[in-house]
């Protein structure tokens, strides 16, 4: 066993030397002065022992040391739940929502669907939990432009509004053909009073937040339900078998209407835009009602044209009738004039 020897007194001792062994000793030098009369010195011996440290572990319940009540993530970026907890044994920390569980500090790519309230729990032999609200920010998307009323003419009052999905809430701006309009306080809608031709054209809405922009275009024109003005039949609606005929449907409206027909027989050819039906070598089955329908997003109109097909005239007794020939005979008469000279 080691022994540590030390001489102590109210003065400074120098050149101390120690001898180890069964009878250890220590010798120090001292410069003596008269002030040291009756000074007391002490020899101390300290025994050194060997030891092994051992930690003591105490079970403690979980306690959150870092787990914010609210977090903000960005769509498409990498994130994790930064929840930490103390306790022994070291607790397991997880956050879950609707059956989907994430370990604390686990990395994942954020999506908009991940927004909501999560239950974050720290668990060892005991458990504690708290609610963490997650907000996911993303650029504007799903733009919509609404025009009210959808049918409008000169002199009407028209409202054009723009709507976009985004977080944070987007701000709005417009590009438009006329400055004589009124914007709402948040720039989301336009009021046109007493619409004029100068108001017609392209209206472009731009939605923007700190994560990006999105644009959408709406063309403002005079929107009109289709009205069929006439069905043109060439050469005539009264046919003889073997004749050719075309039927053309004429309609006005905006946007320009599309066409469809109901007809007594499928044996007919449509033009590319279906405005016209072309019948070659008409038969009796082609006779009947031809109904044209013109349609756009604002309504439809119909008109009917009747076609009759008759048989060709029969020749009597199978002999071809001929028109009587007219013969013109010119008789030239020669007249002699005799002049008598008296």
CATH code for position 194: 2.60.40.10
Residue 118, token pair as written in the block? 């999560």
249 and 305 in contact (C-beta within 8 Å)?
no
Q: Is the dihedral of CA 263, 266, 268, 269 positive or negative?
A: positive
Do 145 and 127 lie in a common domain? no
* Structural domain boundaries enclosing 196: 140-220
55 within some domain: no
333 within some domain: no
pLDDT of residue 36: 83
252 within some domain: yes
pLDDT of residue 245: 95
- From the list 292, 284, 271, 296, the residue with the least C-alpha distance to 240 is 284
Do 10 and 72 lie in a common domain? no
pLDDT of residue 315: 65
Do 151 and 203 lie in a common domain? yes
Pairing of β 127-148 and β 70-74 = parallel
Within 10 Å of residue 48's Cβ, how many Cβ atoms?
8
Q: Which of 162, 188, 220 is a domain's end point?
A: 220
Do 118 and 144 lie in a common domain? no
Backbone φ, ψ for residue 327 (5° rounding) = -105, 125
316 within some domain: no
Q: Which of 168, 203, 220 is a domain's end point?
A: 220
341 within some domain: no
Do 133 and 145 lie in a common domain? no
pLDDT of residue 1: 61
Do 112 and 70 lie in a common domain? yes
Q: Domains in the chain: how many in total?
A: 4
Percent helix, strand and coil across the chain, each rounded to 5? 5, 50, 45
- Half-sphere exposure (CA, 13 Å, Cβ side) for 81? 29
- Measured distance CA(233)–CA(54) in Å, rounded: 110
82 within some domain: yes
Do 216 and 230 lie in a common domain? no
pLDDT digits (tens, 9 = 90+) for 249-289: 999 888 889 999 999 988 889 999 999 999 999 999 999 99
Q: Which of 106, 138, 170 is a domain's end point?
A: 138
Q: Is the dihedral of CA 187, 192, 196, 201 positive or negative?
A: positive
Q: Is the dihedral of CA 77, 82, 83, 89 positive or negative?
A: positive
Do 162 and 147 lie in a common domain? yes
- Measured distance CA(121)–CA(109) in Å, rounded: 22
Per-residue pLDDT of the chain (342 residues; tens, 9 = 90+): 678 888 888 888 888 988 888 888 889 888 888 888 888 888 988 877 777 777 888 899 999 999 999 999 999 999 999 999 999 999 999 999 999 999 999 999 999 999 999 999 999 999 999 999 999 999 999 999 999 988 777 888 999 999 999 999 999 999 999 888 899 999 999 999 998 888 989 999 999 999 999 999 999 887 788 999 999 999 999 999 999 999 999 998 888 899 999 999 888 899 999 999 999 999 999 999 999 999 998 899 999 999 999 988 876 665 444 444 444 333 333 333 333 332
pLDDT of residue 298: 85
pLDDT of residue 279: 94
Do 118 and 175 lie in a common domain? no
């Amino acid at each position: 066993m080691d022994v540590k020897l030390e001489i102590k007194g109210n003065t400074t001792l120098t050149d101390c030397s120690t001898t180890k062994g069964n009878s250890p000793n220590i010798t120090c030098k001292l410069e003596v002065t008269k002030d040291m009369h009756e000074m007391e010195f002490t020899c101390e011996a300290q025994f050194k022992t060997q030891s092994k440290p051992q930690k003591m572990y105490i079970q403690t319940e979980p306690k959150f040391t870092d787990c914010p009540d609210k977090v903000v993530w960005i769509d498409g970026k990498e994130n994790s739940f930064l929840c930490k907890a103390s306790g022994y044994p070291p607790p397991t920390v997880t956050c879950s929502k609707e059956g989907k569980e994430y370990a604390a500090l686990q990395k994942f790519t954020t999506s908009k669907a991940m927004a909501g309230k999560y239950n974050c729990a720290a668990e060892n032999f005991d458990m504690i939990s708290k609610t963490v609200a997650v907000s996911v920010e993303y650029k504007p998307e799903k733009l919509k432009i609404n025009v009210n009323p959808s049918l409008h003419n000169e002199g009407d009052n028209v409202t054009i509004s723009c709507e976009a999905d985004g977080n944070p809430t987007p701000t709005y701006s417009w590009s438009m053909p006329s400055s004589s309009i009124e914007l709402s306080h948040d720039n989301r809608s336009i009021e046109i009073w007493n619409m004029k031709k100068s108001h017609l054209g392209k209206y472009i809405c731009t939605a923007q937040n700190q994560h990006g922009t999105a644009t959408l275009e709406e063309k403002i024109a005079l929107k009109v339900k289709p009205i069929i003005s006439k069905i043109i039949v060439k050469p005539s609606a009264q046919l003889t078998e073997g004749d050719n005929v075309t039927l053309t449907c004429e309609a006005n409206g905006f946007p320009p209407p599309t066409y469809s027909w109901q007809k007594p027989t499928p044996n007919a050819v449509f033009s590319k835009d279906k405005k016209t039906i072309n019948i070659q070598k008409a038969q009796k089955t082609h006779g009947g009602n031809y109904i044209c329908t013109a349609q756009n997003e604002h309504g439809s109109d119909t008109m009917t044209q009747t076609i009759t097909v008759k048989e060709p005239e029969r020749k009597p007794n199978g002999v071809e009738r001929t028109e009587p020939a007219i013969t013109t005979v010119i008789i030239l008469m020669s007249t002699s004039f005799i002049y008598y000279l008296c």
